[in-house]
């Protein structure tokens, strides 16, 4: 090909691309605008703290610097009071003739203050106390009746709980969600109750033979004696114990984590009838509750029980 033709084509190409090359060389690069790095004071009401974070990272409420200082001062003051109160409680505990041994859960079954729990929660105790929810107050508890075979106990108290729970007329089918209300140990024993979601599982329990219902959930020490609620807020049973996963694997060949057993409502009703304790069975169709609704129903009737032993 003629060299002049090649050069001519080359120059025409350069004429086409030159403006673009010049523009790229002389223009100022731009980047995607991620917005300014704004730091705001973010108030987390649930945890009771305020901290500086990027605006887009704030999941709570933005507050001014003045408000942040006030909220932080309040948080620090409450924390100091909590520590002082905790020290005072520990000193008072050390001076008593009985010492804390373990904690479990109980719940009201009527408006007179009768408390139902598991027998093993109170049977080894020299004394039992009811912790008033959201308060340092403790009230003595008297054991009214006990059924060691079914692991049930009835307690008399002078405390009038805000609500009482009603029994379910029948058991839910396998796979149904339920809610366990109790005071599980999470490094320390809780002072306020927690809702733990679970699923009904009959793989290792036949309620027709032993009156026990299997549930799968994050069951821990402190849950014992607590109510297990169906989706309508009715008691299907009392949390009895967590099953050893190793033993369950040997029995079934399956890995079943977080499996626990519940003493079913029929055994509860029979126990209370024998001991002439008023209780209610909710045979209505009821309404499906949200987790928040189940928490409100369950915690209004649930108390922490402290087992005390002589020093």
Assess if residue 24 is contained within a domain: no
78, 94, 110: which is the final residue of a domain?
Answer: 94
In the chain, % of residues over pLDDT 90? 48
Q: What is the pLDDT of residues 238-290, one digit of tens each?
A: 999 887 665 555 655 666 667 899 999 999 999 999 999 999 999 998 899 99
Do 207 and 135 lie in a common domain? yes
Cα dihedral 115/117/205/248 (nearest 10): 160
Interatomic CA distance for residues 120 and 107, integer angstroms: 15
Q: What is the pLDDT of residues 190-209, one digit of tens each?
A: 888 999 999 998 876 766 66
Do 68 and 155 lie in a common domain? no
- The residue ranges of DSSP E strands in the chain, in sequence order, are 39-44, 49-54, 61-63, 98-108, 115-117, 127-131, 138-147, 152-156, 177-182, 194-200, 212-217, 227-229, 235-242, 259-264, 302-310
Do 224 and 77 lie in a common domain? no
Whether residue 138 is predicted with pLDDT greater than 60 in this model: the reply is yes
Interatomic CA distance for residues 198 and 214, integer angstroms: 10
In the chain, % of residues over pLDDT 70? 80
Do 135 and 59 lie in a common domain? no
Query: What does 67-128 look like in DSSP terms, one character per residue?
Result: HHHHHHHHHHHHHHHHHHHHHHHHHHHHTSSEEEEEEEEEEE-STT--EEE-HHHHTT-SEE
Give the pLDDT mean for 280-301.
Answer: 93
Q: Which of 194, 198, 256 is nearest to 222 (CA)?
A: 194
Do 57 and 117 lie in a common domain? no
3-state secondary structure of 34: coil
Q: Do 225 and 248 touch, CB atoms closer than 8 A?
A: no
DSSP 8-state class, residue 166: -
Assess if residue 199 is contained within a domain: yes
Assess if residue 18 is contained within a domain: no
218-to-82, 97, 196, 242 alpha-carbon distances in Å: 29, 35, 7, 9
CA 169 to chain centre: 26
Do 169 and 288 lie in a common domain? yes
Q: Which of 216, 190, 194, 189 is nearest to 203 (CA)?
A: 216
- Please give the tally of structural domains in the chain: 2
Assess if residue 9 is contained within a domain: no
Kindly report the pTM of this predicted structure: 0.68
| CATH code where residue 288 lies | 2.40.10.120
Do 86 and 107 lie in a common domain? no
52, 78, 94: which is the final residue of a domain?
Answer: 94
Domain span holding position 130: 99-310
**Token digits of residue 280:** 């209610």
């Amino acid at each position: 090909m003629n060299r002049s033709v090649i050069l001519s084509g080359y120059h025409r190409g350069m004429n086409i691309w030159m403006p673009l090359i010049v523009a790229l060389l002389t223009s100022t690069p731009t980047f995607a605008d991620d917005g300014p790095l704004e730091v705001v004071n973010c108030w987390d009401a649930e945890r009771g703290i305020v901290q500086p974070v990027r605006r887009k990272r704030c999941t709570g409420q933005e507050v001014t610097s003045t408000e942040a200082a006030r909220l932080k001062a309040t948080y620090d003051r409450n924390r100091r009071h909590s520590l002082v109160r905790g020290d005072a409680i520990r000193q008072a505990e050390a001076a008593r003739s009985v010492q804390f041994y373990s904690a479990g859960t109980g719940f009201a079954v009527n408006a007179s203050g009768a408390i139902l729990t598991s027998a093993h929660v109170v049977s080894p105790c020299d004394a039992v106390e009811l912790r008033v929810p959201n308060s340092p107050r403790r009230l003595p508890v008297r054991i009214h009746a006990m059924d060691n075979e079914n692991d049930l106990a009835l307690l008399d108290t002078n405390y009038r709980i805000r609500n009482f729970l009603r029994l379910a007329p029948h058991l839910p089918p396998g796979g149904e969600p339920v809610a366990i209300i109790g005071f599980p140990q999470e490094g320390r024993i809780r002072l306020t109750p927690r809702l733990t979601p679970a699923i009904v599982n009959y793989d290792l329990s036949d309620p027709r033979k032993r009156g026990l219902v299997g549930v799968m959930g994050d069951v821990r020490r402190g849950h014992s004696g607590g109510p297990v609620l169906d989706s309508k807020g009715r008691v299907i049973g009392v949390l009895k114990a967590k099953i050893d996963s190793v033993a369950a694997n040997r029995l079934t060949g399956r890995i079943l984590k977080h499996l626990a057993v519940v003493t079913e409502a029929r055994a509860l009703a029979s126990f209370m009838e024998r001991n002439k304790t008023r209780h209610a069975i909710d045979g209505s169709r009821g309404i499906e509750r949200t987790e928040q609704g189940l928490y409100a129903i369950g915690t209004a009737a649930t108390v922490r029980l402290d087992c005390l032993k002589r020093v």
